Amino acid sequence: MASDRIVVADSGPLIALARIGRLDLLSRLVHRVVIPPAVAVEIREGGDRPGAREVAAATWIHVEQPDAELARSYGLLVDAGEAEAIALAVRSTGSLVLLDDRLARRLAESLGIARIGTVGILIEMRRRDWFPSLRKEIESLVAAGIHLREELIDAALRSVDE
């Protein structure tokens, strides 16, 4: 993953990274992080949820408007934050959309949008030796209440020889 990329993010992965104390590393990993208004609202409304306050306070995360018509049409398939993030990524050439929801990831894939999830971001960080063990980061996600499929965990650990 090139560090000069713009990442368009949904709220879930940002909050998950914040919950395990790794949100700050995202700002080092990519050139710019943008979120659509619906994601900003989700974060603001989730202010009491662990991680939401940290995401809301991250001044390096910028809010940008998606194409409203695209967001409405994608909103028939996925939630408002995911729909707006995908619509914003469609408009942002060369961007990468950060999503964890399986249906939203499939929609992004069908539109030819590069995508990554929370675990993929952690893999990139581990490859840069920003922390010693991907396994410990994944265990922290699970302990924080983030559901991960066993197949995803196994594949992620294999990808970094753990």
What pLDDT does 3 receive? 63
In the chain the domains, ranked by start, together with CATH numbers, are: 6-159 (3.40.50.1010)
* DSSP bridge pairs for 96: 7, 114
Per-residue pLDDT averaged across 30-55, rounded? 88
For residue 2, pLDDT beyond 80: no
Residue 116 phi/psi, 5-degree rounding, is -150, 155
Tens digit of pLDDT for each residue in 66-75? 999 999 999 9
The label of the residue with tokens 């974060």 reads: 43
- Label residue 45 by pLDDT band (50, 70, 90): confident
- Tell me the HSE value of 7 on the side-chain side, using a 13 A CA sphere: 27
pTM for the full model? 0.93
CB 62: neighbour CB atoms within 10 A?
12
Spell out where the chain has E strands.
Answer: 6-9, 32-35, 61-63, 96-98, 114-116
- Label residue 44 by pLDDT band (50, 70, 90): confident
CB 119 within 8 A of CB 148: yes
Per-residue pLDDT averaged across 128-134, rounded? 96
Tens digit of pLDDT for each residue in 64-120? 999 999 999 999 999 999 999 999 999 888 899 999 999 999 999 999 999 999 999
